[in-house]
């Protein structure tokens, strides 16, 4: 609803993002209701996203690849087959309602000369820089909005006022902007108007999204990329008119490079541009610019707008897959039964003998029958390790290291590894709870890593249908 109102009121936001979010939310809800496994739930999520992308762009191939590339993370047939079916179904429904035609109608563009490839590389560089400026502008606007001492629900009003003022000079910034993009493709704008509209679109989109309007960033990326590519094409054609494919060709290449840099999905973005324009001849140029723009953005900003957005919220998806697996396995499954223990009243001589025979070089000291009191290694004995004169004067409780790090059976492997890393311990005691300190055993670093590897292999086999 918020996205629909935002787009309908003329905010400078995209319409595809909300559709993708809706497809993902519905898939996630169905997955929870059916109590699907993690692998099946992820596949169902990919189906929802693929169908939404395919329906939004009239691009079934791009929808299937986008879901596999970004959401699922692999192309195993077990996941890819249902995603393809969902993308085709979404496209069929969309075409039955809106018709079967590309988003932009234009004459077929071709690459006039392979000598243009350096120009496509340079356009990719410029598009990458523009993408970084665009994304940083959005986050800067969000920071500015958070510093305003006004109720959050009033922030869109300030953005709407600012966007309206910008639109008095450049009405092209309003709404999704596909009409503006098509005008650029048909070379209806001058060089300076392309530059001005591109700059105004960056500012209007940053204010709209940063101040709370609902919507996506793909459509604004397409518009800004078209402005950047069109302006670059005018310059390139003026410098090398006999080698240039024309400003329209550079406009298409700029659209792809800018969108890929923002979305962080170079393969599917290239296909989206191809299916939106029905122009295969420029695919080589789009691919080159997309790769350059994506690399520039990745090195100097982040993998994509969405990954950086999540990182600002404290969510690191780079470690998400591994962390998810680590959290799924409980310490109770890897408790070792070889933990060596002694009572705290054992003499130093007996303790020394036990340590010399110990396989891991560490013994847990118990008080009473099962209460963990401390832990002892040869290092903890210090000088007493070689002084036999005090064997009958000192007991295990005297030399034990008190308050050792502990885990409970309900802790997960991620917690266990973090504790081992922070304490530099390879063997951690496991207790029923930290109140009673009832000793259950211990976990070894090698067992934790072994359990993680087994869980990883099981998940891989499940995803690939082995």
Which pLDDT score is estimated for 24?
81
**Fold for the domain defined by 109-318:** Clc chloride channel (1.10.3080)
Distance CA 85, CA 72 (A): 15
Token pair in block for residue 333: 């499954």
Q: Is 435 exposed, middle or buried (0-12, 13-18, 19+ CB in 10 A)?
A: exposed
Which pLDDT score is estimated for 172?
87
For the chain, the distance separating the N- and C-terminal CA atoms, rounded to the nearest angstrom, is 42
Q: Which residues of the chain have pLDDT under 70?
A: 1, 73-76, 100-110, 112, 276-279, 314-324, 380-393, 459-466
Which pLDDT score is estimated for 283?
79
Looking up tokens 């350059």 gives: 292
Radius of gyration (C-alpha) of the chain in whole angstroms: 30
| 130-144 burial: b if 16+ Cβ within 10 Å, else e | bbbebbebbbebbee
**In terms of Cα–Cα distance, which of 85, 39, 84 is closest to 457?**
39
Give, in words, the CATH class of 327-458.
alpha beta
Distance CA 89, CA 54 (A): 9
CB hemisphere CA count around 30 (13 angstroms) = 15
Token pair in block for residue 389: 């004169």
Q: Do 443 and 407 contact (CB within 8 A), yes or no?
A: yes
CB hemisphere CA count around 343 (13 angstroms) = 5
Helices (H), 211-316: 218-239, 247-263, 266-277, 283-300, 305-312
Q: Where in the chain is the domain with CATH 1.10.3080.10?
A: 109-318
Distance CA 67, CA 55 (A): 13
Which pLDDT score is estimated for 129?
93
Distance CA 342, CA 138 (A): 61
Which pLDDT score is estimated for 102?
61
Distance CA 230, CA 104 (A): 15
- Strand order across the 341-343 sheet: 341-343, 362-367, 371-377, 401-402
Cα 323 → chain centroid: 13
Which pLDDT score is estimated for 195?
93
Distance CA 229, CA 250 (A): 5
CB hemisphere CA count around 215 (13 angstroms) = 33
Which pLDDT score is estimated for 459?
66
Distance CA 247, CA 257 (A): 15
Q: Do 416 and 428 contact (CB within 8 A), yes or no?
A: yes
Which pLDDT score is estimated for 390?
57
Which pLDDT score is estimated for 1?
67
Q: Where in the chain is the domain with CATH 3.10.580.10?
A: 327-458
């Amino acid at each position: 609803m918020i996205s629909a109102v935002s787009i309908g009121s003329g905010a400078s936001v995209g319409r595809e993002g909300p559709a993708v979010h809706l497809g993902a939310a519905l898939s996630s809800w169905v997955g929870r209701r059916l109590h699907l496994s993690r692998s099946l739930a992820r596949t169902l999520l990919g189906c929802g996203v693929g169908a939404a992308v395919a329906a939004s762009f009239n691009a079934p191939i791009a929808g299937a690849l986008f879901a596999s590339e970004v959401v699922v993370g692999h192309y195993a047939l077990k996941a890819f087959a249902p995603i393809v079916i969902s993308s085709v179904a979404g496209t069929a429904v969309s075409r039955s309602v809106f018709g079967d035609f590309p988003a932009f109608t234009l004459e077929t563009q071709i690459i006039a000369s392979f000598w243009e490839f350096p120009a496509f590389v340079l356009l990719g560089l410029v598009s990458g820089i523009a993408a970084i400026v665009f994304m940083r502008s959005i986050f800067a606007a969000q920071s500015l909005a958070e510093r305003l001492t006004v109720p959050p629900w009033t922030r869109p009003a300030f953005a709407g006022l600012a966007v309206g003022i910008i639109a008095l000079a450049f009405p092209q910034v309003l709404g999704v902007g596909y009409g503006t993009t098509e005008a650029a493709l048909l070379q209806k704008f001058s060089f300076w108007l392309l530059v001005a509209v591109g700059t105004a679109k960056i500012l209007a989109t940053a204010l709209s999204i940063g101040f709370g309007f609902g919507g996506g960033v793909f459509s604004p990326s397409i518009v800004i990329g078209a402005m950047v590519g069109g302006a670059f094409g005018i310059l390139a054609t003026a410098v090398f008119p006999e080698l240039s494919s024309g400003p329209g060709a550079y406009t298409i290449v700029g659209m792809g490079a800018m969108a890929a840099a923002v979305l962080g999905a170079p393969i599917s973005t290239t296909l989206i541009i191809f299916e939106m324009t029905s122009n295969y001849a420029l695919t080589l140029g789009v691919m080159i610019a997309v790769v350059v723009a994506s690399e520039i953005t990745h090195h100097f900003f982040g993998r994509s707008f969405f990954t950086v957005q999540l990182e600002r919220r404290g969510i690191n998806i780079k470690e998400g897959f591994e962390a998810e697996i680590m959290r799924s396995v409980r310490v109770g499954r890897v408790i070792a039964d070889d933990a060596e223990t002694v009572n705290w009243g054992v003499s130093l001589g007996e303790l020394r003998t036990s340590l010399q025979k110990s396989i891991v070089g560490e013994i847990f000291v118990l008080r009473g029958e099962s209460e963990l009191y401390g832990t002892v290694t040869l290092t903890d004995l210090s000088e007493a390790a070689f002084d036999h004169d005090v064997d009958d004067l000192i007991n295990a409780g005297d030399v034990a290291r008190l308050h050792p790090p502990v885990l409970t059976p309900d802790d997960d492997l991620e917690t266990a590894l973090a504790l081992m890393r922070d304490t530099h311990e390879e063997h951690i005691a496991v207790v029923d709870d930290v109140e009673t300190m009832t000793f259950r055993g211990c976990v070894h670093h090698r067992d934790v890593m072994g359990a993680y590897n087994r869980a990883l292999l099981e998940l891989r086999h499940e995803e690939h249908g082995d």
